[in-house]
Amino acid sequence: MFESFAELIVSFLPITGKVAGILEYWIYNNLKILFILAVVVFIIGYLRTYFPPEKIRDYLKGKDSIFGYFFASVLGIISPFCTCSTIPIFLGLVSAGVPFGIIITFLFVSPMVNFAAIVVLFGTLGWQITLAYVVGGITVAVSGSLILTRMGMEKHLIDFGLSESPEGEEVNTSRKERLKMAYQEGVDILKQVTPYVLLGVTVGAGIHGLVPEEVITDYLSGAFSVPGAVIIGVPVYTDIMGVIPVAESLISKGLPVGTAVAFMMSVAALSLPQFILLKQAMKKKLLLYYGGVLSLGIIVLGLFLNFIL
């Protein structure tokens, strides 16, 4: 549907050849991604009203089992990574006495894997890569947090001197209110993310139209491409929604999937703003190990995916 619409628009313009192709790709991908995003942020916003972090925290209290790690991952996937959300959730988990490994799992997953990205990835790159991104991200997070726990990193969380907090009070919310909250949040997120999508699609369209396939298959598919992609991803800061179109375009030109996933995760999770936010919760040493373990985990994941796919 979006494809024929893009075709139609381009056919009215006095351009042909390469430029027309790039423009068509640009219109099509922007429409597709923004449409999926608009639907998803609304749905997730609505569902989230049924899973407030307080509820998940009360469930996680004192659980040091595999389920604990699983629910911490879910909490990380559904909550946006920002000061208004991540830090209060982190503090709430600490004050409820949730085990360190589970808290760190949440802090690993939250910037790396996000629900809207899962759906957009599914719509653009198919289920295999989506599965690799979700399962891979959670695996990196859980193993990373087990390593940090084993290293005795717990004492390097910042101590806020929190005492046991009260159970979360239920606030009654009607369906109409939930829909309104979802709408409000959806609009906010769209406003925030759209510029990144436009930028990402522009870069993706440029790669699609101008970069010859050989450049990618010759230079970006060796064993070093994965660590290389992670390193390049560090200074690049954009929303994960801005990386997906670039990854899509690179994959269609022959970039190995593991390399693309590693690049996406590095851009999303290993950037300065992320670390500035996490500094509110972690002392320097933990922050350093967190970054190290995460980089290593992403590299291993990328190599593994390149090996099996």
Structure tokens at 23: 């423009």
Q: How far apart are CA 86 and CA 280, in angstroms?
A: 10
Supply the minimum distance, in Å, between the C-beta of residue 76 and other proteins: 13
Closer residue to other proteins, CB minimum distance, 86 or 124:
86
Backbone angles phi, psi at 157, to 5 degrees: -75, 150
Supply the minimum distance, in Å, between the C-beta of residue 119 and other proteins: 22
Q: How far apart are CA 216 and CA 124, in angstroms?
A: 20
On whether the CB atoms of residues 10 and 26 are closer than 8 A, the answer is no
Structure tokens at 61: 């209290």
Closer residue to other proteins, CB minimum distance, 160 or 219:
160
Supply the minimum distance, in Å, between the C-beta of residue 287 and other proteins: 18
Supply the minimum distance, in Å, between the C-beta of residue 183 and other proteins: 11
Note the residues at the interface with other proteins (CB under 8 A): 52-54, 57, 83-85, 87-89, 91-92, 94-95, 160, 162-163, 165-169, 171, 177, 181, 184, 188
Backbone angles phi, psi at 224, to 5 degrees: -80, -5
Supply the minimum distance, in Å, between the C-beta of residue 99 and other proteins: 17
Q: Is the dihedral of CA 279, 291, 264, 305 positive or negative?
A: negative
Closer residue to other proteins, CB minimum distance, 52 or 123:
52
Alpha helix stretches (DSSP H) within 113-174: 115-125, 127-150
Closer residue to other proteins, CB minimum distance, 162 or 210:
162
Neighbours of 136 (CB within 10 A): 24
Closer residue to other proteins, CB minimum distance, 83 or 128:
83
